[in-house]
Chains A and B, each alone.
Chain A
């Protein structure tokens, strides 16, 4: 086998744990059910989302059909895939290209830098299919079945689905490689890595917005609605590959094949560019990033007193440890905090992008009216809880310990104490989301401070059951074997399932609010009611957490 083929094979094996799975199925027969159960839980958890998405796409297709644009649904799904992959690709590529533990072992191998990047890139692409296929497949089926397409269409859609992640991931890779090259020239590497991540996300958001922004020109909009100009055509003005992909699918003639080839050619061009750049900068930026500086200074007596002269409770010691590791690991910080803080800011961004000054003035007037205010606050509380539940800090808390689990197992601390330390750290991160949302409500929406403070307290209360249930999940089934910090957090299924569990908590609280409102309870009572339900849920989930923690920390082996 050629070295590159062997390398790719090994990468795929490690990434998907193929040998580990084989071992489990042939040797550890008792544990066979585990991967099957996990797959089943994943499918069941995401099935409702997929059903809702498919229904949305179906109605979009029907609407498109009415204005003579059945292919609208395809253009939208392609655009959606591109944006999502570009956005998440930044973190993903950063983790895989720069923060994997195995990278250093590849440098001495007789492989060219571009071969290492290519191998890693293939793994990332295959992982991205998990995102792009669920987004693209329903519209492709809806369009294909709805317009009665033949075999050629299905073959083309397969090709398209397999190649769609290439362009956004290449853009993400190029961005990351260039940013990392800059970062490594400086001293404050960890900080700059985080900055690079944020800049990368900002650029990818900007690019997506640029691609998706509809023309303001009324004439153009009219020609769209009367079906003279397709959506693909309009988006194509800004980002041609989307048009080529859509036309390549829908145009049955030679032109269609031409468009598809054009799209594939663009993908190839992007890939070539990436490979060329990786040969030039990849190892330089990678190796520079691995150098760790030491200060080497002797502590003075007063420094020693400061360093060693204070004792604290074990739970506080564990909290401090978890917090330090969380904020000092760029990928944890990016994934855990940036999402929490950026989430509410995106909300503001979307609002700003869509409105004009007088519209805002009117909006602020409306939402501050006494009859509307409680509902706006309720919406704000919903947003607070949403950001509080999306950070994945709790749902990967034990997983992140990885190979240092032996310390946790060795120390004389109960499962309950371990759980308490992790719960507090996760709640603090959630609190940051609550505070950001509260600040937006006060500064941007100009809502009354006291009311927002009240909503924040309930938001904090609601984050307790979210974090407790997420933590229970991770302690119950941690992912302790990983090669990069990225894998511990983003490629950890507990993260995704945890978000759904958070949404379940949010749903229960929303249902409680809805019931009380429909019973015509006064609004202050509705808020107290939500707080009460959140407190009860918090109590129940914490009881569950302690039970699971006591049992699992005993059973876990390191």
Chain B
């Protein structure tokens, strides 16, 4: 569960509010899609949730634990992949995954099974012993995903996870997200692909100029008009 309470993040001494008094809750068992135009504050919000940025005000609780106050405990429950994963170019994929497994204290036999599963799923088995430097963008994305999920975290936070993935991997990832939530866990992801958000998410939040301008299930967002697509809703709301 993710509980965001009145977070604000501003730059230039408060002149630019990247995120403005944003509150939202993502429940257990829920896939939450976070959408918004470029520069709306999606990545800033996500970075605050995982502890990369410190909010000026407000709190963020991961399963009831404050990411600012008990950051280590909170971070243990999170698996995070950024929008453009800059990894250690001079490590091999294998070394990176082992590093992540060591950091999260994943036991040897468990890690082997999980790593093998993900590498097979993403078709990375042959590339794993190579330096990350030699990977394409999509391969880096896949290794980052594997590294983030290796400790089987309850809360997945993915910033534009489909970008760079081939259709098959993207499809498999979406299935994994669904399975993960069906087990009572939480997935929070941002995307520009509104079709994906519409089909996959239990609830969607739309952020514009740092403020959450709409939140709810697809039905709630449609407000009774069944034919209304998320694209139309999005355009209407963000072009006001």
Which A residues fall within an 8 A CB radius of B? 27-30, 292-299, 304-305, 307-314, 316-318, 320-321, 324-325, 328-329, 403-404, 406-407, 409-414, 554-555, 557-558
Closest residue of chain A to B133 (Cβ to Cβ) is: A292
Which B residues fall within an 8 A CB radius of A? 11-13, 15, 47, 50-54, 71-73, 75-76, 78, 80, 82, 86-88, 90-91, 94-95, 97-109, 111-112, 115-116, 125-131, 133-134
- A292-B99 contact in complex given A30-B13, A297-B126, C-beta closer than 8 Å: no
Q: How far is the CB of A555 from chain B (nearest CB, A)?
A: 7
List, sorted by A's number, 8 A–B pairs whose CB atoms are closer than 8 Å: A27-B13, A304-B116, A311-B108, A313-B102, A314-B103, A328-B90, A329-B90, A557-B53
Q: Are A317 and B99 in contact (CB under 8 A)?
A: yes
Q: Are B98 and A409 in contact (CB under 8 A)?
A: no
Q: Are A410 and B133 in contact (CB under 8 A)?
A: no
Q: How far is the CB of A424 from chain B (nearest CB, A)?
A: 15
The CA-CA distance from A152 to B99 in the complex, in Å, is: 64
Q: A297-B126, A304-B116 are in contact. List 14 more A-B contacts (CB 8 A).
A: A28-B11, A30-B13, A293-B134, A308-B101, A308-B108, A308-B115, A314-B102, A314-B103, A321-B88, A321-B91, A324-B90, A411-B103, A413-B103, A555-B54
The interface residues of chain A lying within 8 Å CB-to-CB of B54 are: 554-555, 557
The interface residues of chain A lying within 8 Å CB-to-CB of B99 are: 317-318, 320-321
The interface residues of chain A lying within 8 Å CB-to-CB of B90 are: 324-325, 328-329
Q: Are B102 and A312 in contact (CB under 8 A)?
A: yes
The interface residues of chain B lying within 8 Å CB-to-CB of A317 are: 98-99, 102-103
How many contacting A-B pairs (Cβ < 8 A)? 121
Q: Are B134 and A308 in contact (CB under 8 A)?
A: no
The interface residues of chain B lying within 8 Å CB-to-CB of A314 are: 102-103, 105
The interface residues of chain B lying within 8 Å CB-to-CB of A328 are: 90
User: Which of B72, B108, B134 sits near A412, CB closer than 8 Å?
Assistant: B72
The interface residues of chain B lying within 8 Å CB-to-CB of A404 are: 86-88
The interface residues of chain B lying within 8 Å CB-to-CB of A308 are: 94, 97-98, 101, 108, 111-112, 115-116
- A410-B51 contact in complex given A311-B102, A317-B102, C-beta closer than 8 Å: yes
The CA-CA distance from A189 to B137 in the complex, in Å, is: 23
The CA-CA distance from A309 to B54 in the complex, in Å, is: 36
- A27-B75 contact in complex given A292-B134, A320-B99, A325-B90, C-beta closer than 8 Å: no
User: Which of A296, A299, A325, A409 sits near B91, CB closer than 8 Å?
Assistant: A325
- A403-B103 contact in complex given A294-B134, A309-B108, A410-B80, C-beta closer than 8 Å: no
Closest residue of chain B to A311 (Cβ to Cβ) is: B108
Q: How far is the CB of B159 from chain A (nearest CB, A)?
A: 11
User: Which of A292, A295, A312 sits near B129, CB closer than 8 Å?
Assistant: A295
The CA-CA distance from A230 to B12 in the complex, in Å, is: 60
User: Which of B47, B73, B107, B126 sits near A298, CB closer than 8 Å?
Assistant: B126
Q: Which of A29, A307, A316 has the most CB of B within 10 A?
A: A307
Closest residue of chain B to A329 (Cβ to Cβ) is: B90
- A409-B51 contact in complex given A27-B15, A295-B129, C-beta closer than 8 Å: yes
Q: How far is the CB of A417 from chain B (nearest CB, A)?
A: 10
The CA-CA distance from A557 to B43 in the complex, in Å, is: 13
Q: Are B75 and A311 in contact (CB under 8 A)?
A: no
The interface residues of chain B lying within 8 Å CB-to-CB of A318 are: 99, 103
Q: How far is the CB of B79 from chain A (nearest CB, A)?
A: 9
The CA-CA distance from A407 to B104 in the complex, in Å, is: 12
Q: How far is the CB of B207 from chain A (nearest CB, A)?
A: 20
The interface residues of chain A lying within 8 Å CB-to-CB of B105 are: 311, 314
Q: How far is the CB of B77 from chain A (nearest CB, A)?
A: 9
User: Which of A297, A304, A554 sits near B112, CB closer than 8 Å?
Assistant: A304
Q: How far is the CB of B148 from chain A (nearest CB, A)?
A: 8
The interface residues of chain A lying within 8 Å CB-to-CB of B106 are: 311
The CA-CA distance from A295 to B125 in the complex, in Å, is: 12
The CA-CA distance from A557 to B108 in the complex, in Å, is: 32
- A295-B47 contact in complex given A311-B111, A312-B102, A558-B52, C-beta closer than 8 Å: no
Q: Are B129 and A299 in contact (CB under 8 A)?
A: yes
